[in-house]
């Protein structure tokens, strides 16, 4: 069992984290969306250590995080539209699924053998500094055990991964609170693989291409298992009042036991979502209920995460054997 240290994300902390990453040891690090579990994307062993710490099924590929366009282009082939999207939304909460370059410096375990790669340039100064200090792209899934709630604070990471990782860089709660939007670029269209902070309207306005948002329950991004982000308790959605032994997350006029946003602000609700799911999960109540969230703008991404939290559970996957 590994001893897990939580240290401030200052210059010394970032240097320690970069050294750990270069040794092949994954480190939890804040980004503007959620905390990530970052490892050297160029090393198969380092990536295997990420999968092992999360207990993530090996078919689920990871996002490759880069610090600048030069690094991005060593990894992925950018079409004119991809370049346009990157110029507009990077650094920031958008992940582009693009063709892998020939000889990309990315372990095949990162892409799970796919001919495409998911790339993102994060805006958080700590993650940016860490990529620069490591001098290489970093693979980073969300820093939580596979299938459980994403972490927006260092103590969420510790609750989920203590004993399984050696270092957590703490820089307080993350700003956005929801994972990045994932979009695949195809010849004449964009395909939304995971709704997120960059909305379909924002994408369409910049790319000048239609955006497909297939919502037929098929798993688009390989990691989009229906029951992702699951708390330990049953979750009931669109609740206007708490039922027996339920802890109610309110929104707008529905106050609940605690509110995602009393003023009905979707950005505030997104930033608080995972934190409040953690609180509800730790409460004395047997079940969790959530007030209705409008299916518009950031509400689409919030409802996506809530539907996964409420979906029937698959049996817990065993840790990846590598
Ligand atoms: O905000 C975020 O994106 C956070 C922070 C840490 O950057 N990261 C994150 O990573 O949410 P993760 O591993 O939890 O989600 C990655 C998603 C998975 O659903 C995976 O299936 C999808 O990206 N993905 C990765 N590579 C892909 C590819 N080549 N094609 C389609 N989907 C891909
Ligand atoms: Mg995740």
What is the pLDDT confidence band of residue 58, given thresholds at 50, 70 and 90?
low
Which of 60, 25, 24, 73 minimizes the C-alpha distance to 142? Answer: 60
The per-residue pLDDT for range 235-269, each reduced to its tens digit, is 999 999 999 999 999 999 999 999 999 999 999 99
As annotated, the residues of the chain forming the CATH 3.90.870.10 domain(s) are: 5-212
Ligand 2 geometric centre to CA of 141 (Å): 6
5-212: what CATH class? alpha beta
Please give the distance of CA 272 from its chain centroid, rounded to a whole number: 15
The per-residue pLDDT for range 5-16, each reduced to its tens digit, is 999 999 999 999
Task: Confirm or reject: Cβ of 181 under 6 Å from ligand 1.
Answer: no
Q: Whose CA is nearest to atom 33 of ligand 1?
A: 221
CA separation for the pair 51, 97 (Å, rounded): 20
The per-residue pLDDT for range 266-288, each reduced to its tens digit, is 999 998 998 899 999 999 999 99
**What's phi and psi for 130, nearest 5 deg?**
-70, -45
Q: Whose CA is nearest to atom 19 of ligand 1?
A: 223
- Residues lying with their CB under 5 A of ligand 2, a single-atom ion: 142
For residue 170, give the H/E element and its range: strand 167-170
**What's phi and psi for 106, nearest 5 deg?**
-135, 125
Ligand 2 geometric centre to CA of 71 (Å): 23
Ligand 2 geometric centre to CA of 80 (Å): 29
Q: Is 229 left (phi over 0), alpha (psi -120 to 50) or beta?
A: left
């Amino acid at each position: 069992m590994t001893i897990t240290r939580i240290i401030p994300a200052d210059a010394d902390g970032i240097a320690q984290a970069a050294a750990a990453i270069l040794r092949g040891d994954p480190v939890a690090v804040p980004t503007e969306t959620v905390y990530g579990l970052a490892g050297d994307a160029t090393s198969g062993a380092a990536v295997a250590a990420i999968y092992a710490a999360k207990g993530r099924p090996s078919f689920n590929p990871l996002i490759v995080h880069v610090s600048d366009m030069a690094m991005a282009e060593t990894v992925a082939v950018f079409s004119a539209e991809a370049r346009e999207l990157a110029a507009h939304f990077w650094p920031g909460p958008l992940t582009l699924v693009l063709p892998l370059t020939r000889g990309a410096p990315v372990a095949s375990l990162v892409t799970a053998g796919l001919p495409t790669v998911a790339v993102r340039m994060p805006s958080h100064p700590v993650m940016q500094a860490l990529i620069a200090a490591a001098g290489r792209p970093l693979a980073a899934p969300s820093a939580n055990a596979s299938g459980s709630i994403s972490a927006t604070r260092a103590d969420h990471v510790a609750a989920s991964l203590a004993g399984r990782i050696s270092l957590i860089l703490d820089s307080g709660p993350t700003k956005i609170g929801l994972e990045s939007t994932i979009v695949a670029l195809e010849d004449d269209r964009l395909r939304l693989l995971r709704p997120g902070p960059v909305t379909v309207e924002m994408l369409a306005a910049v790319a000048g291409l239609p955006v497909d948002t297939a919502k037929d329950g098929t798993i688009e991004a390989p990691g989009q298992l229906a029951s992702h982000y699951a708390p330990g308790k049953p979750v009931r959605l669109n609740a206007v009042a708490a039922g027996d032994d339920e802890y109610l997350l309110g929104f707008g006029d529905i106050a609940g036991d605690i509110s995602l946003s009393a003023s009905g602000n979707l950005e505030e609700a997104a930033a608080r979502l995972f934190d409040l799911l953690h609180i509800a999960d730790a409460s004395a109540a047997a079940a969790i209920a959530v007030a209705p969230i409008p299916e518009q703008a950031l509400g689409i991404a919030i409802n996506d995460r809530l539907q996964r939290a409420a979906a029937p559970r698959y049996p817990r996957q065993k840790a990846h054997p590598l």
